[in-house]
Amino acid sequence: MNIHTLCFSPTGTTKKIVQGIAQGTGHNEICHTDITFRTPSATNYGTGDLIIVAVPVYGGHVAPAAMKRMEGLRGNGALAVAVVVYGNRHYEHALEELADFLSARGFCLIGAGTFIGEHSYSTPETPIAVGRPDTEDLACAVRFGEGIARKLASDHPDDIIDARQIEQPEQDSQVMMLFKQTVMGWMKDGLQMPSAPLVDEALCTHCDACAGLCPTGAINNNTVEAGKCIKCCACVKGCPVGARSFPTPFAPLLAKNFSQRKENKILL
Ligand SMILES: Cc1cc2nc3c(=O)[nH]c(=O)nc-3n(C[C@H](O)[C@H](O)[C@H](O)COP(=O)(O)O)c2cc1C
Ligand code: SF4
Ligand code: SF4
């Protein structure tokens, strides 16, 4: 079996998870494809291939930019594992979406996982799932990879799973309802959301590092083209002097309501 990974990961948490899963499979020759900055060149798979697809959750869905980059994928009967990485709030529709997307493109889904990564909006003032995936999360990713390898070696490697059967994260329904009510209130009141990160000119050294980190090429001459910005916060987290910020009201709301640790879930 040829094992492949494919991930979209502006702030690197999804990539860490998929690397952990790949390590756990114990296979030495794994083909890794990172679609953060480009659409993949190889898009056709077939029987004899297994692909582990990992994407971050944006607004309860698969990050739209990742979906777009994956449009050309064709399974032709290849096996697939669907993984979504989310910032300790919830992944809502994302796993189902990714599973349906892969199945519709001819992949046989044999595994699924929901993992936690530090929230893209997390800052020292508004910490959300800081440092995740941590050692425990990565050990879980490795165990998942080991489980995938065992399934491949079994006499039923292509047993299809139903991603909807995965265990849900532990979530206080009252907290989630209050969160949703607050967001709906913001929308009703027409609260203006920042359309892209801001730069503090007093701190910025014009090193251009942020432009290189931007998955959509939205930063030119230190200016962000808001229409291209996917609010991934790679530029914020990657600025060596902390000159970029994304002052979204979501950050304090998430930090307040979703500080309780959620755990990764896997299904094989
Ligand atoms: C625009 C945007 C929307 C997000 N929406 C959610 C969400 O609905 N639920 C959640 O738990 N995390 C959400 N997150 C957090 C990311 O899913 C999480 O930080 C993930 O680990 C980022 O992956 P990366 O490090 O590979 O970029 C969102 C992040 C961004 C940038
Ligand atoms: S990475 Fe930071 S310091 Fe460098 S150009 Fe971007 S905002 Fe300025
Ligand atoms: S400019 Fe927007 S899309 Fe580019 S790295 Fe920053 S947040 Fe992400």
CA 217 to centroid of ligand 3, rounded, Å? 8
Residue 128 in contact with residue 178, Cβ under 8 Å?
no
Burial pattern 188-197, b for ≥16 Cβ within 10 A else e, equals eeeeeeeebb
Per-residue pLDDT tens over the stretch 155-165? 999 999 999 99
Test site for ligand 1: of 120, 132, 180, most ligand atoms within 8 A of the Cβ: 120
Q: How many helices (H) and strands (E) does the chain have?
A: 8, 11
**Domain regions of the chain by residue span:** 2-170+260-267, 198-247
Q: Is the pTM of this model over 0.75?
A: yes
Per-residue pLDDT tens over the stretch 188-247? 999 999 999 999 999 999 999 999 999 999 999 999 999 999 999 999 999 999 999 999
Closest CA to 84 of 100, 104, 105: 100
Q: For residue 172, what are the CA distances in angstroms to 103, 169, 256?
A: 32, 10, 13
| Domain 2-170+260-267: assigned CATH number | 3.40.50.360
Return the ligand 2 atom nearest residue 205 CA: 3
What is 198-247's CATH topology? Alpha-Beta Plaits (3.30.70)
